[in-house]
Amino acid sequence: MKKCPYIVAVDDDYDMLRILKRTLELEGYGVATAADGNSALALVDKQQPDLVILDIMMPQLDGFEVLKLIRQRSSVPVIMLTSRCEDTVLRNALALGADDYVKKPFSTRVLIARIRAKLRRLNS
């Protein structure tokens, strides 16, 4: 029996987390959510997910800081979510080790396609 991929979604916007969780579960993924960077790091350590979706703009530990800390302990694929789409922000995310980024607001179909692409590469 094949295990379903497990995703950690991180965003300080509870409505966004609810949308992400529902969308991903409907696609057959296991999902855990975190509303802040410290909770996200604890989930990544404990659950060892197949992929992380990480918001950039969060209080205390922002997505860049969380990404740096994830990269110190894991090579899990990370897709950044951002409403900031300046070239420098996106370039910084990729330079820190993000595998992809999705601009907010986003199409759930595009997000799912990007998740599938990352997981397919992981499993090949």
CA–CA separation, 26 vs 31, rounded Å?
10
pLDDT in the model for residue 82: 87
Query: Phi/psi class of residue 104: alpha, beta or left (left: φ > 0; alpha: ψ in -120 to 50)?
Result: beta
Domains located in the chain, CATH noted: 6-123 (3.40.50.2300)
**pLDDT per residue rounded down to tens, the chain (124 residues):** 457 999 999 999 999 999 999 999 999 999 999 999 999 999 999 999 999 999 999 988 999 999 999 999 999 999 999 887 788 888 999 999 999 999 999 999 999 999 999 999 877 6
pLDDT in the model for residue 62: 95
Peptide bond into 105 cis (omega under 30): yes
pTM, two decimal places:
0.94
